[in-house]
Amino acid sequence: MSIISDYLINAKQQKPEVAAKVSAPFSKHDDIRAELEKWIREQAYPQDNPLAVEGYTAEMISKLAPFMDGVGVYNFLITLRERPDNGKRIIAAGFPRK
């Protein structure tokens, strides 16, 4: 079991099927996965040379969307990488929640 799945199941009380679905996109982005795993271990965003996607670091996203936990923040970095226009639109709209 991956560190991410383990965290989702044990810390966030998610069912294994949900944890697998949430953690799956990280398998395509080793750099984002590695930084998320570090966040899970340390419960802090990296300060030295953090990963940036489209000019945004995980800590920047966490400040813009304080309702997100680390998994949500890093998942959003995947959104910024895969669909940058959509990600920037969400940021510009203030992370609307339905």
pLDDT (mean) for 30-41:
97
Q: Residue written as tokens 């000019």?
A: 55
44-57 residue pLDDT tens? 999 999 999 999 99
| pLDDT score recorded for residue 34 | 96
Q: How far apart are CA 36 and CA 97, in angstroms?
A: 23
| Stretch 21-31: mean pLDDT | 95
Average pLDDT over residues 45-71: 96
Mean pLDDT score of the chain: 95
The residue ranges of every structural domain in the chain are 3-92
> According to DSSP H, which parts of the chain are helical?
3-10, 16-23, 30-42, 58-64, 70-82, 84-92
Contact indicator for 15, 23 with CB cutoff of 8 Å: no
Res 40 pLDDT > 90: yes
pLDDT of res. 1: 59
